[in-house]
Structure 1
């Protein structure tokens, strides 16, 4: 535990101007980013008596080893820089709103030549129009099914679309009138794109003009005695009205607005957001966060606005944003929103009428979300803190292990040996830092040897990257070496961050192997333990007896959770490798014969038995097989015992049988 006074800036060193600051730990990792109207006043508040600080703030300043800042011209610029640094460094102690579930959205892939309507989850992609999010995927499918009568936009996958192009026949939706079938040329790419744009306009709330146009077309068709066309338009109108009725009118003035409400206690806060378009609720989502410091409601609202609109531009930001408290000063955040939207944004607290009533509904949802979140054991901050303290006490560590890495080995009867590394930070899974290892130096059921290799490889990488970046100190600096940054993302590498605790899946032998690997590398500041499955005993290096934690212990539960996650991740990788592998019996011994040509041979002849009986000329008929290769194959088959069948290891299918 560090003493904040050891890295406190000297009096007068901090400027009294707007800026953004970041705290780093002893490994130069950014652990907290903040902004301030006055850097001097804000940073001074961190270096007061520790007992007066908020619980999480106290943990942050004692984990940090240095603080630095960047002066900016305006508070808007500080807001933008703070957001970009939080996105880049993902600091451990910053307010992080975690979606309480994965919400699906209705997406239209406008970046494609033939836009597709589909259900989509996860991060937003460039060129895709999103509507929602919705509470359930089936609600999206119901809405789309109703609207395809009036807007027969493509909904099929790329594979189905390409297949229909090849055979010249549309899929079922094309036959029943729920797809305009651009795959077979019934409409041009421009006509199909126009359909998709009309679909997007309707979903965005611009419904009145379109319905009136359809009604006029229906009346004109009836007057011209085109009764079939009139009936079809009537059905389209009814389908669209039915889709609209699924979203009840909540604001009679057809307002476009986002309503944000919070429910909070001393340690956590839940956020609920209702997206209202055209006066109707078009989407809902919720977030939960741990409070990092004594942040008030207005501060939480500001963080929510940053996360909600940080990647958005244009009309996706509504004209009106209703909140429970307006951040002070309001001008910078309002200016930031208007800059992103390209127009005026009204940020305010609703006082009366329909908007106030709807805000109360959103607040009730936020309270329910916080209550639900509190019941989730793994996400509770207090529970996680207690679990980490219990682990530290049981293993006699100097402080709670804020970063835990767990390793597991997986194989199939000695083949396809792989390993996994999963990471917990502050008791939460850090999936972006999971790693997978392929064991190539040997094969067989030797988990101890494999564990030694994996720990060695992981910490050799740590030492190598530490050596490359150490003399620069700041690996994000402009003069840092190329090896300090990821080649693809350009961000600082994170694999070099060492854990406080290494957990291995196994007992004494695996723990001894992990400790030996660390000793050989000269690493003495990382603790090691193992969790044996049979009796859930915790083993330590050079200990004859295990540490037995109570079955009700939160620390044991956390160790079980990280062990099970490592096991799941290793099994997933091992199965993925098996699905790609292919064993072809004696053909595996033919040097230079790859999987493609092995599969071609077995597909051509049907089995190894028939391949053995084939002549050289018949073998040469297989594409890619020359005379010399055919002779080598014939010799290999003649020398091999016929007992070794060809096997697809993904399915276990024996290819030898006729």
Structure 2
């Protein structure tokens, strides 16, 4: 690991002009490429105290052994040179957008004598017209099947084409009219190429002119009483319209635009792109990247634009590019895009109207893409193993905690206190082992006391089962089974089979101390305890005045967060279920003649049973369907009930949480 000061250039050596710089390691491999408006200011930011740098930037500057730069005339030239060097050297620390899947394109091989229409994936080839990308290959094939009726372009492979030419007989598509059969000379090479050009124009969105031309020819055939030809043209027009309907109209002004949206966290970012041509969504694609350094949304957008349009020219670059944030500065990027297209390109952030609404749809797709990527990441064995090793190292454990149990407490204004226990084995959730608890020994907002009780109950059950040498221990009546797989073959709850290597509690130092005290009281000293505090994501261990701070990029911290969040979700779900049940079994159930519809009307009108209890008979009569006699009965029934009742959202009818009030 190199010391950045060992290769730091003196400030006088670095020019203040725009340029591109490269960091190299001890083997002279390029590990990072960047551009700057002022090379002196940008490079100086790397050679500060390593502790002040982003963790991955710090790793980069300590891995590097030298830095060099190239001066250019303008920021646009810097942008172009940066992209060229990134493609050439493939530096390990640069942002790399990885496709979240392989997207198929509709391709027309205009570089062949007889152009062919087909589905293509992977790198683009010179001389081939591409349309898309599409979400699924079958969507391309359905569209092509409809268009071949009007544009019978060749779709067969080179082997089939050659064999048909040798035997002088076309394939099936040639017989049914979905191929012009250039293999047997039914159409010349020039006419077939014109047919392929018309196909490309139609797919590219220039549909209106061609449809009007077909309609005119249909009317002319009808006037000349050539009804069979007019019928065929009518069917061709119908096929083209059906093909057009497969692409949803999203922008009514026939806009050509690409919409780029981001979803990001501290470690990763997902990018989604919608390709809109002629006001219709013609394709969609997505990328996921690790954040190598502290990148803003504007920086991510700039990298996405480079990757998206770095090898594109002409009409492949649309007239309008809509983004969530503009690069800083925006002028060089806009000028670079204009140079790629050969005409002006508008780069802007949509603020209102249809384009803003479509951008929100793209953003939702980006969020789902990031969530899916995290799910795949959590299921990766190598990543899970590294996470467990990092936790063991941070907490000074003898071995990796293969079984982790996490506890969380939830209540509603001090009432209906419950707790959850979730289990992760080898970094994966084991839902059949989940447990939930009711706290009946006290009421109130005392999370520390509740945590002590729940951890003690869980491990008392474990000790009791050990003493009984495999026989079922009698469960406490208020221990609840998990949400799935809760019972064994004989119908009784599964045992608390064996202890975890690590107990995680949702909270800070007080909750950790309570959990440790519960274990000490039972004589259990071979189970580690830690807590994860939400505010700063600090890891607390018993007896330490200072928390353990794991790097934000740590896989161990990511696993602890998932465990904590799952325990919180499970506890909240149990708590809300109990409150919903309490509402259904509330004091209104005791009112004779009051059905479900009128109970809901009362709660919706007043917002909660508590407010209903404070209402007068006259105010209750204002509710539609409630007469005076019923109102008096309701008021009398509620006057005799003092049990606290949850508040309800007056719009949705849902129960309101404490933190939503």
Q: Distance in 2 between matches of 1:231 and 1:332?
A: 55
Q: Please give the secondary structure, in 2, of the residue aligned with 1:12.
A: helix
| Cα deviation 1:190-220 (Å, max 9, x = unaligned) | 1000010000000010001100110111111
- Counterparts in 2 of 1:188 and 1:311: CA distance versus 1, 3 Å: same
Shift of 1:281: 0.1
Q: Please give the secondary structure, in 1, of the residue aligned with 2:12.
A: coil
- Counterparts in 2 of 1:217 and 1:172: CA distance versus 1, 3 Å: same
- Which residue of structure 1 aligns with residue 165 of structure 2? 165
- Which residue of structure 1 aligns with residue 295 of structure 2? 295
Q: Distance in 2 between matches of 1:391 and 1:29?
A: 33
Q: Distance in 2 between matches of 1:83 and 1:248?
A: 34
- Which residue of structure 1 aligns with residue 122 of structure 2? 122
Q: Please give the secondary structure, in 2, of the residue aligned with 1:258.
A: strand
Q: Distance in 2 between matches of 1:323 and 1:360?
A: 11
Shift of 1:385: 10
- Which residue of structure 1 aligns with residue 312 of structure 2? 312
- Counterparts in 2 of 1:385 and 1:30: CA distance versus 1, 3 Å: farther
Q: Is the Cα–Cα contact under 8 Å of residues 259 and 322 in structure 1 kept in the other structure?
A: yes
Shift of 1:378: 7.5
Q: TM-score when scaled to structure 1?
A: 0.58
- Which residue of structure 1 aligns with residue 24 of structure 2? 24
Q: Distance in 2 between matches of 1:389 and 1:8?
A: 35
Q: Distance in 2 between matches of 1:16 and 1:378?
A: 45
Runs of 4+ with >6 A deviation = 378-382, 387-393
- Which residue of structure 2 aligns with residue 222 of structure 1? 222
The 5 A counterparts of 1:284-363 are 284-363=284-363
- Which residue of structure 1 aligns with residue 259 of structure 2? 259
Q: Is the Cα–Cα contact under 8 Å of residues 373 and 379 in structure 1 kept in the other structure?
A: no
The 5 A counterparts of 1:601-616 are none
Q: Distance in 1 between matches of 2:270 and 2:54?
A: 19
The 5 A counterparts of 1:444-593 are none
- Which residue of structure 1 aligns with residue 196 of structure 2? 196
Shift of 1:11: 2.7
Shift of 1:332: 0.6
Shift of 1:386: 3.6
- Counterparts in 2 of 1:553 and 1:318: CA distance versus 1, 3 Å: closer
| Cα deviation 1:98-120 (Å, max 9, x = unaligned) | 00000000000011110000000
Q: Distance in 2 between matches of 1:80 and 1:384?
A: 39
Report whether the alignment pairs 1:52 with 2:52. Answer: yes
Q: Please give the secondary structure, in 1, of the residue aligned with 2:332.
A: helix
Q: Distance in 2 between matches of 1:305 and 1:171?
A: 44
Shift of 1:225: 1.2
The 5 A counterparts of 1:367-382 are 367-377=367-377
Q: Please give the secondary structure, in 1, of the residue aligned with 2:179.
A: coil
Q: TM-score when scaled to structure 2?
A: 0.58
Q: Distance in 2 between matches of 1:385 and 1:344?
A: 51
Shift of 1:241: 0.5
Q: Please give the secondary structure, in 1, of the residue aligned with 2:10.
A: coil
Shift of 1:328: 1.3
- Counterparts in 2 of 1:54 and 1:79: CA distance versus 1, 3 Å: same
**Unmatched tracts of structure 2, length 5 or more:** 394-554, 558-661
- Which residue of structure 2 aligns with residue 275 of structure 1? 275
| Cα deviation 1:389-421 (Å, max 9, x = unaligned) | 77999xxxxxxxxxxxxxxxxxxxxxxxxxxxx
Q: CA RMSD in A?
A: 2.2
The number of residue pairs the alignment matches comes to 396
Shift of 1:89: 0.2
- Counterparts in 2 of 1:258 and 1:240: CA distance versus 1, 3 Å: same
Q: Is the Cα–Cα contact under 8 Å of residues 388 and 556 in structure 2 kept in the other structure?
A: no
| Cα deviation 1:68-100 (Å, max 9, x = unaligned) | 111111100100100000000000000000000
Q: Is the Cα–Cα contact under 8 Å of residues 95 and 289 in structure 1 kept in the other structure?
A: yes
- Which residue of structure 2 aligns with residue 142 of structure 1? 142
Q: Which has the larger radius of gyration?
A: 2
Shift of 1:51: 1.2
| Cα deviation 1:267-319 (Å, max 9, x = unaligned) | 11000000000000000000001111111111110000000000000011000
Q: Distance in 2 between matches of 1:391 and 1:156?
A: 57
Shift of 1:329: 1.1
- Which residue of structure 2 aligns with residue 210 of structure 1? 210
Q: Please give the secondary structure, in 1, of the residue aligned with 2:45.
A: helix
Q: Is the Cα–Cα contact under 8 Å of residues 35 and 78 in structure 2 kept in the other structure?
A: yes
Q: Please give the secondary structure, in 1, of the residue aligned with 2:46.
A: helix
Q: Distance in 2 between matches of 1:250 and 1:146?
A: 22
Q: Is the Cα–Cα contact under 8 Å of residues 115 and 196 in structure 1 kept in the other structure?
A: yes
Q: Is the Cα–Cα contact under 8 Å of residues 267 and 381 in structure 1 kept in the other structure?
A: no
- Counterparts in 2 of 1:385 and 1:4: CA distance versus 1, 3 Å: farther
- Which residue of structure 1 aligns with residue 480 of structure 2? none
Q: Distance in 2 between matches of 1:209 and 1:43?
A: 55
- Counterparts in 2 of 1:384 and 1:111: CA distance versus 1, 3 Å: farther
